[in-house]
Amino acid sequence: MKIGNVSLRHGVALAPMAGYTDRAMRLICHERGAEYTVTEMVSAKAVVYNDKKTFALSRIREDEGPVGIQIFGSEPEVMAEAARILSAPAEGAPPVAIDINMGCPVKKIFSNGEGSALMRDPKLIERIVASVADATHLPVTVKLRAGITEDNLNAVECAKAAEAAGAAAICIHGRTTSQMYGGSCNRKIIENVKRSLHIPLFANGDITNGEEALSMLSDTGADGIMVGRGAVGNPFIFTEILSRLSGSQFVTPTVRERRDASLYQLRIAIEDKGERLAVPEARKQIALYLKYFYGAAQIRAKINAATTYAEVEEALKFEADC
């Protein structure tokens, strides 16, 4: 599949996740097989108002591979201006796409009329996508949910509105806003969206291993998949998925390899953000790496008290020596 001028051989991508898909996670997933990654969502208004923290979230480095920048908001003019600014950043590498968040279910985003709240108004979706597409030379992509509630599964209508306005690709998370991240992914809705579109579709939701990736593609007919929470603390999932797609054998990582990967990811984060910020932020991801470790609860307690890289490394030392 293609996103603009970028060809993705297998269509295997890392989904954008607020608080997770920073450069450290994007890079480690890219190195293990993710063909495309997307930044954490950034506020269009904050970009327009030149907020330094927001630009830090959207900064891309050359070694990350193809990266899209995800923006959120509800005002077409503001979204368009943010896309224009981010398409040619003053620092770092340029993105390969501008992605529009129309799927975030979090209350503070939804209540502000942003994220998945945009699915209440397909006409607004069309105006936003058209405005952003007119403002950038990059392909514009859109991430949606199945709908807001089970009684209004309108992903097909919203996806068609985005396509009509110039979207180059769509991603559907097969849950509703009301489900948040609970319940199960509705693959039938993703299949229905795929049947209605002429542009590429990513399927997203409940992909936690190579087998789920294959069955998602088979069940929905999607052109590619986006892996979200299944990649947190497990970047090896991309190697596993590519192995299944190519028919080759996947060798399960050892505890030592998982430990080394967690520390590598932390070192990248420290390089970007400094130890003081990166170590506390990394705890939630390291905790998920730890689920593969013997005595994880005790190690996790040490990690949660750690404030330096050396303390994290020491907490994981037992696993390195076993």
What would the pLDDT profile of 206-262 be if each residue is shown by its tens digit? 999 999 999 999 999 999 999 999 999 999 999 999 999 999 999 999 989 999 999
- The CATH number of whichever domain residue 103 belongs to comes to 3.20.20.70
Looking at the predicted structure, is the pLDDT value of residue 318 above 90?
Answer: no
Tell me which of 104, 158, 171, 185 is the catalytic residue. 104
Residue 81 neighbours by CB under 8 Å, 6+ apart: 44, 47, 48, 135
Q: Are residues 70 and 44 in the same domain?
A: yes
- The residue-averaged pLDDT of 74-97 equals 95
Q: Which of 246, 281, 298 lies at the terminal end of a domain, its last residue?
A: 246
Number of structural domains found in the chain: 2
Using the predicted structure, report yes or no on whether residue 20 has a pLDDT greater than 80: yes
Is 241 in the same domain as 275? no
> Quick check: 95 pLDDT over 80?
yes
**Residues 19 and 59 grouped into a single domain:** yes
Cα separations (Å) of 169 from 44, 202, 237, 318?
A: 20, 8, 23, 46
State the average pLDDT for the chain.
Answer: 95
CA distances from 12 to 16, 36, 213 (A): 13, 7, 9
Among 201, 216, 246, residue at a domain's last position: 246
| Domain with 139 in it | 2-246
Q: What are the tens digits of pLDDT across the range 171-216? A: 999 999 999 999 999 999 999 999 999 999 999 999 999 999 999 9
Question: Are residues 62 and 164 part of one domain?
Answer: yes
Both 260 and 234 in a single domain? Answer: no
17 closest CA partner among 285, 307, 295, 317: 285
267/146 same-domain check: no
Indicate if 228 and 307 belong to the same structural domain.
no
Q: pLDDT at residue 286 above 80?
A: yes
Please state the separation of Cα 88 from the chain's center in Å.
21
**Residues 202 and 264 reside in one and the same domain:** no
**φ/ψ of residue 142, rounded to 5:** -135, 135
On the question of pLDDT at 93 being above 80, the answer is yes
Assess whether 187 and 266 both reside in one domain. no
pLDDT tens-digit profile of 136-166? 999 999 999 999 999 999 999 999 999 999 9
Who contacts 254 (Cβ-Cβ below 8 Å, separation ≥6)?
Answer: none
- In the residue annotation, 171 being an active-site residue is answered as no
Residue 322 has pLDDT above 50, yes or no: no
> If you count DSSP H runs as helices and E runs as strands, how many of each does the chain have, helices first?
15, 11
**Residues 242 and 12 sit within 8 Å (Cβ to Cβ):** yes
Provide CB contacts within 8 A for 312, sequence distance 6+: 263, 266, 279, 282, 286, 303, 306
pLDDT for 292: 74
Within this chain, do residues 54 and 106 fall inside the same structural domain, yes or no?
Answer: yes
Cα–Cα distance for residue pair 24/268, rounded to 1 Å = 5
Q: Do 208 and 282 belong to one domain?
A: no
- pLDDT (0 to 100) of residue 320: 47
Is 255 buried (19+), middle (13-18) or exposed (0-12) by CB count in 10 A? middle
What is the C-alpha to C-alpha distance for residues 250 and 260, in angstroms, rounded to an integer?
19
The C-alpha R_g of the chain, in whole angstroms, comes to 19
Q: Does 205 share its domain with 303?
A: no
Name the domain boundary from 203, 229, 246. 246
